[in-house]
Amino acid sequence: MDSKGGKIMDATAPIGFIDSGVGGLTVVREALRQLPHENVLFLGDQARLPYGPRPAAQVRAFTWQMVNYLRTQHIKALVIACNTATAAAWHDIQSRLDIPVIGVIVPGARAAVKVSTGGNIGVVATEGTVASGAYDDAIHQQNPALTVSSLAAPKFVSLVESNEYRSALAKQVVATTLAPLAAKHPDTVVMGCTHYPLLRPFIQAALGDDVTLIDPGRETVVELGTVLDYLGLANHADHDGSRHFYTTASPAMFKDIASDWLGLDHLDVHHVDIEHEPDHFVAVAELGASIPQSAATGHEQTVVVASKNPGKVREFVDFFGPRGINVRSLADFDDLPTVDETGTTFLENARLKARGYSEALGLPVIADDSGLMIDALDGAPGVLSARYAGDHNDAANNAKMLANLAGVPTAKRTAHFHTTLVWVDPARPDDDVEVDGEVDGRITVMPAGDNGFGYDPFFYIPEQGKTMAEMSPAEKNRYSHRGNALRALAALMDADPVRFGLPKQAQQPTTQPTTEPQVNEDLEEE
């Protein structure tokens, strides 16, 4: 089983998707349609495609390198969105990891068996998938009486990856390749490579309108959603999730195809090098975002986040993990007395929580206190931001805020979102670390934007010309109060790692640059 290391499993963690190229985007598209609230990480190994002609052992090694890279991103589930990789590696990966691992072959086979009317099923796939016999086995396990005819289509992947999947050449190649399968008159055909749905119109034309085409990606996402619901890992956020894409080849070419196929503008696409990743299972501690031993103690450095909010805890996992610090939350400790926030300032409340929980646990603790300060209301709601109207109710809080600002002209509705972070280490009792982050804006009369809650729809940032709720996650990372506080903390950690229980030569982050920590401002202020 996979060692959890610094990973905190929660519903807001992303789902990882892997493929040999862009074909897995057909599965991602289904995920965006069926599971819009989920956060998505996609990795396509375009630099080494195609996988189809490669030996199964090599495909398995390449697949593990993709998997190990995404494991450093704290994914809550993994989808092997590649039939060739599923055939070669799914059983091995699924048996080793402690998160749900879903391949595309079994869901596709199950769907084909379900809809077949004549008992004659065709499979069109890569050489590797056909040679593995994986679809034949999966279909016959459900109904041994069915006839299965498999055909390798090695040219289809290159048509998609070269962005020629709508061309006249693609139409001709598809028709010629599928002629032998069409002659067998299947009633149902599985598109057994995630690249192939991009060629669906040509495939349908070559086989005939009476043939039912099965897209395993669609069925895979149905199974994924069921598994997440069963395990309590479904993300029920009230806004669309984040989408981040990685490729081992050219981000520009990837973006051209992905933008067209997914219908998304401004895709977040980055080049990554995964050839240094292990080509087999290793514990999390041995991966790129591993947790090194402290030079002083010989043990892992650990910090407890003074929160049970899974989204907030994940922010700190993403921030501290690459810096060699194991993260735990208050939810990891039973019968822990609650530290009341009785302070009158953000700093006092953050200190109370950090010092109180550190004393109780004997571990370093980081605590934050955040809120909205409106100048015309003498800094209110301030430390009472989450319970301004008496309870944690966004609508009531906003209504009270607007009522108290009635008659205040636009120019005098200036406000500030503020965050204070406090790090307390019992090994350094006189050396608390305190940093602040702030963003200036003003309060609008009408709300705008859906990418946030709390006061976000009313908090307008003039320099950006939009409210916090109108900002993308990337924009919030750059301008938010919590992002600014984490940047200040990152600067201190990089300048003096020993102060945080790390070796003098602190490990530099491998997943996010110190200047752009990833934060989620769509969290209740605590």
pLDDT tens for 22-81 read 889 999 999 999 999 999 999 999 888 889 888 999 999 999 999 999 998 889 999 999
Residues 53 and 186 occupy one common structural domain:
no
454 assigned binding-site residue: yes
> For residues 231 and 72, what is the distance between their CA atoms, to the nearest angstrom?
21
User: Can you give the pLDDT at residue 199?
Assistant: 95
139, amino acid identity: I
> Is residue 293 in a domain?
no
Per-residue CA distances from 405 to 224, 373, 377, 393, 409 (Å):
47, 13, 8, 18, 9
User: Can you give the pLDDT at residue 311?
Assistant: 60
Residues 95 and 130 occupy one common structural domain:
no
State the helix-helix crossing angle for 481-495 and 310-320, rounded to 10 degrees.
30
Comparing CA positions, the residue from 33, 1, 28 lying closest to residue 15 is 28
> Is residue 283 in a domain?
no
User: Can you give the pLDDT at residue 188?
Assistant: 97
Task: Identify whether the C-beta of residue 67 lies closer than 8 Å to the C-beta of residue 18.
Answer: yes
User: Can you give the pLDDT at residue 333?
Assistant: 77
Residues 99 and 110 occupy one common structural domain:
no
What does the pLDDT look like over 175-220, one tens digit per residue? 999 999 999 999 999 999 988 988 999 999 999 999 999 999 999 9
User: Can you give the pLDDT at residue 168?
Assistant: 92
Comparing CA positions, the residue from 34, 23, 21 lying closest to residue 199 is 23
Residues 57 and 128 occupy one common structural domain:
no
Q: Residue 305 sits in which domain range?
A: 300-500
430 assigned binding-site residue: no
* pLDDT band, very low/low/confident/very high, at 373 (cuts 50, 70, 90): very high
192 in helix, strand or coil? strand
194: domain CATH number?
Answer: 3.40.50.1860
**Mean of the pLDDT values across residues 274-296?**
66
Residues 469 and 363 occupy one common structural domain:
yes
Residues 178 and 256 occupy one common structural domain:
no
Task: Identify whether the C-beta of residue 213 lies closer than 8 Å to the C-beta of residue 189.
Answer: yes
Our answer to whether residue 430 is catalytic in this structure is: no
145, amino acid identity: A
- Number of residues written out for the chain: 526
> Is residue 230 in a domain?
yes
User: Can you give the pLDDT at residue 160?
Assistant: 86
Which one is catalytic: 10, 215, 318, 369?
A: 369
Residues 449 and 380 occupy one common structural domain:
yes
Per-residue CA distances from 367 to 11, 330, 350, 352 (Å):
22, 11, 5, 9
> Is residue 209 in a domain?
yes
Residues 347 and 227 occupy one common structural domain:
no
Residues 322 and 350 occupy one common structural domain:
yes
370 assigned binding-site residue: yes
**pLDDT(4) > 70:** no
271 in helix, strand or coil? strand
> Is residue 341 in a domain?
yes
- The count of domains in the chain is 3
402: domain CATH number?
Answer: 3.90.950.10
Residues 82 and 195 occupy one common structural domain:
no
476 assigned binding-site residue: yes
Task: Identify whether the C-beta of residue 42 lies closer than 8 Å to the C-beta of residue 25.
Answer: yes
**Mean of the pLDDT values across residues 467-490?**
85
Residues 149 and 181 occupy one common structural domain:
yes
Residues 386 and 402 occupy one common structural domain:
yes
Our answer to whether residue 193 is catalytic in this structure is: yes
52 assigned binding-site residue: yes
Our answer to whether residue 369 is catalytic in this structure is: yes
Which one is catalytic: 82, 318, 425, 522?
A: 82
Structural tokens at position 260: 């067209």
Which one is catalytic: 45, 193, 215, 425?
A: 193
